[in-house]
Amino acid sequence: MSATSVTITNVRAILTAPAGIGLCVVKIETSEPGLYGVGCATFTQRLGPVKSAIDDHLRPLLVGRDVDRIEDIWHLCYQNSYWRNSPVLNNAISGVDEALWGIKGKRANMPLYQLLGGKCRDGVAVYRHADGRDPQEVLDNLLKLKEQGIMYIRVQLGGYGGIGREPRRPDGALPGAYFDPDVYTLTVPKMFEYIRSKIGFEQPLLHDVHERIAPIEAVRLAKALEPYRLFFLEDALAPEDIDWFKRIREHAAVPLAMGELFTHPLEWRPLIVNQLIDFIRVHISDIGGITPARKLASLGEAFGVRTAFHGPGDVSPVGHAANVHLDLVVQNFGIQEFSGFPDPLPEVFPGCPELRNGYLYANDKPGLGIDIDERLAAKYPVGDVGHVIEWTQSRWPDGTITRP
């Protein structure tokens, strides 16, 4: 190692919940006074194990290493535990990876998008969510977003799994988040029919199945939605059922987006190489950060698949900043999901990307251009990281546990 090398002196996980959602941010400190980077490692359903992976395992592995060797460090972290491709480990690696890219941008005195090759576009088009208890309420919320300049809108009737009568449960049925997939698949096409009858076909609309129906029902739903010209149908199948994408392709000319739960290259590789999806919408921290996301985008470009990175409220503003820098530089960018920055997120995370008239903009500060105010972050503790999560206890009417 060169005598002038900048080395890692500390790696820390910071937990905070300024908007009521648990977030995990990694901070890497270096041998150069005042030089540090931050990255997103948010797996909000399992914050405790991610924090332990960072503080107890990655920190001792990384202290003393050269901050410039991002590729080598990524692979070191990836394979050092021997077992690989878990969302816990990938999120921990992502926090390190994004922080190191931020440090490299600061050392070069460039925003990350410049370091990665420069802009392919000046703003990042986003999609946001309109929900409602009935089609009219969905339409009302859609129109509110449209008035704010949002050009792409995802429409959901009653959230994931839809709405309808309370399913009739058998005696002794366990508690859970019950939904009826038959009611869902019947009401969604009716919702689209109503909305298109009111606003026409110029407004790009999206819909998220959230992997909640049987594969054959996903085929049938895609066919039923074909007349309503979706921008894309999101996560129609669970990762365990990706072989069924070939059947959807054979029966419905509906653009398909997939990947929210992907953590392993063998989940997305066949879908891209065989051109069975149109958008890859991975959660950047779930696949390990900026380093693998760049490669994934290049793979997609080779096969005509565009990016649509996951951007819900359980991506920290640091993660959103990483998304935006990638969105600016990849040629095959498609769309960016964006959940917004409710107060006090912009105060806790100075340098948040800015949304103006339907586009997200990165700032021109070096690196990711975003920071975390640890003093303010400490005012919003995450509470019990081991609390029981309710919404993922999804059940069909007879009580069968199913994927959320």
pLDDT in tens, the chain (404 residues): 665 799 999 999 999 999 999 999 999 999 999 999 999 999 999 999 999 999 999 999 999 999 999 999 999 999 999 999 999 999 999 999 999 999 999 999 999 999 999 999 999 999 999 999 999 999 999 999 999 999 999 999 988 888 766 788 999 999 988 889 999 999 999 999 999 999 999 999 999 999 999 999 999 999 999 999 999 999 999 999 999 999 999 999 999 999 999 999 999 999 999 999 999 999 999 999 999 999 999 999 999 999 999 999 999 999 999 999 999 999 999 999 999 999 999 999 999 999 999 999 999 999 999 999 999 999 999 988 778 888 889 998 999 998 87
Crossing angle (nearest 10°) for helices 70-80 and 87-108:
170
Q: Are strands 177-178 and 8-16 parallel, antiparallel or unpaired?
A: unpaired
What number of residues does the chain have?
404
Provide the CATH topology of domain 115-365.
TIM Barrel (3.20.20)
Active site residues: 160, 210
Is pTM beyond 0.85 here? yes
Q: Which residues pair with 7 in a beta bridge?
A: 66
For residues 81 and 159, give the distance between their C-alpha atoms in angstroms, rounded to a whole number: 38
- How many Å apart are CA 377 and CA 123, to the nearest integer? 29
Count Cα atoms within 13 angstroms, Cβ side, for 340: 9
Q: Collect all residues with Cβ–Cβ distance below 8 Å to 83 and sequence separation of at least 6.
A: none
Question: By C-alpha distance, which of 343, 359, 284 is closest to 18?
Answer: 343
Write down the pLDDT at residue 168: 85
Cα–Cα distance for residue pair 195/204, rounded to 1 Å: 12
Cα separation, 261 vs 238, in Å, equals 8
DSSP 401: B
CB 312 within 8 A of CB 121: no
Q: Which residue has the tokens 């894309």?
A: 232
Sketch the domain layout of the chain as residue ranges. Answer: 115-365
